Chains A and B, each alone.
Chain A
Amino acid sequence: MSQRILLAIAVALGLLVIGLGLFWNPGQPETTVSPRGGDFTLQSADGPVSLSAFRGKVVLLYFGYTYCPDICPTSLVRTAAALNLLKPEEASRVVTLLVSVDPERDTLAHLKEYVTFFHPGMVGLTSSQAEVAAVAKQYGAFYAKHQTGSAAGYVVDHTADVYLIGTDGVLKERLPHVATPEQMVAAIRERLSVQ
């Protein structure tokens, strides 16, 4: 009897080891998790902003930070170029949100100044570390603070996709970092045409 129990324990442990080997992948960012998106409320320089306030509009959501010297400006410049390619009546139905994953250094006033540099319509959002982390998790965005030894202080490694949210507030797709303004415009128009 006790041998059977031992055997059962051995088999269970064996399965656990195999299972961990197959499925446990701690080095992988959470981009592999299918994101569900959903509502959130974060802070802007002009008060709290909720995603639910933008029903009827297409929302472009990006996670970044203002100390980001290269990737964020590249993404935001592309996004701004896409907005500028839209007709005014289309652009008025598109909202761009930058969520700072570096609330430690990004003040709300600084964020506002930063996003306005790229496009007057962009909105900069952030909140406590915990709240930002919750929103990032909701959307499957990954970020991690990393000390590089650079004089610029720490960098924040992060996914650089643009999350496209439909007029119904549901996450529709992720536009990769390399998406051209034209590709972004096509994706935005597709969502704008759906009421």
Chain B
Amino acid sequence: MMHKISALAVTLLFSAGVFAAAADNVSVQDPYVRLAPPGAPATGAFMVLKNAGDKDVKVVKAENSLSKVTELHTHVNDGGVMKMRPVQSIDIKAKGETVLKPGGLHVMLIDLKAPMQEGNVVPITLTFDDGSSKKVEAKVVRPTAPGMPMDHGKH
């Protein structure tokens, strides 16, 4: 009996260590959606993605219910010209973190179904390259400048 239990425990430990899904290794900090100005058809969601696992992980898809389309985007500063481009995936290195922030990588909420309100919570589902997924609750905040008291980009 003891033998069986310890075997089971070993199996569980083993599976937790080796077969842990990307979603289990990735934690999300400070997710927020920037309140879209009136009439603006799209806005960005930002967050810090931390990967506690030993393997690199990719976010390959994002979905949300507030907008018709969700895409992964980045910005390239090409000699002072800001270029926004869709990306296929967002990498999170093993034991590393990736910051989604204004002017850089972000989740784009495109074609908002209804005007959003400050304080609304937007559930965003991130899907990783191993097929696992994670739900993130991102609060809608009014944009503030860096260094200002309400700056959510630096927490």
Interface residues of A (CB under 8 A from B): 28-29, 31, 66-67, 69-71, 73-74, 77-78, 80-82, 110, 113-114, 117-118, 142-144, 146, 148-152, 155, 157-161, 176-177, 180-182
Contacts and interface: CB of A to CB of B under 8 A. Distances in A.
Interface residues of B, number: 37
B38 A117 contact: yes
Interface string B59-76: 000000000110101010
A28 B36 CA distance: 32
B84 A69 contact: yes
Nearest to A115: B37
A114 B40 CA distance: 8
A177 B79 CA distance: 12
A71 B145 contact: no
A117 B38 CA distance: 7
Given A67-B42, A71-B103, A157-B83, A180 B147 contact: yes
Interface stretch (B6-14, B106-114, B123-131): B106-114
A160 B40 contact: no
Nearest to A74: B102
- SS class, residues of chain B in contact with chain A: strand
B31 interface: no
Contact of B75 (A70, A81, A82, A161): A70
A144 B79 CA distance: 14
B5 interface: no
Given A71-B82, A151-B111, A77 B43 contact: no
A31 B71 contact: no
A110 to B, nearest CB: 5
Contacts of A82: 145
Contacts of B85: 148, 155
6 contacts: A69-B36, A69-B43, A152-B110, A152-B111, A157-B83, A182-B147
Contacts of A161: 80
Interface in B108-146: 108, 110-111, 143-146
Contacts of A110: 39
B103 A150 contact: no
Given A70-B102, A74-B102, A151-B71, A31 B108 contact: no
Nearest to A70: B44
B1 interface: no
Most A CB atoms within 10 A — which of B75, B84, B102?
B84
A31 B80 contact: yes
A150 B39 contact: no
Given A73-B34, A81-B148, A151-B110, A158 B81 contact: yes
A142 to B, nearest CB: 6
Contacts of A150: 71, 73, 86, 108, 110
B83 A146 contact: yes
Contact of B37 (A114, A143, A180, A182): A114
Given A29-B80, A77-B145, A152-B108, 6 more contacts: A31-B81, A69-B40, A113-B39, A151-B71, A152-B110, A180-B147
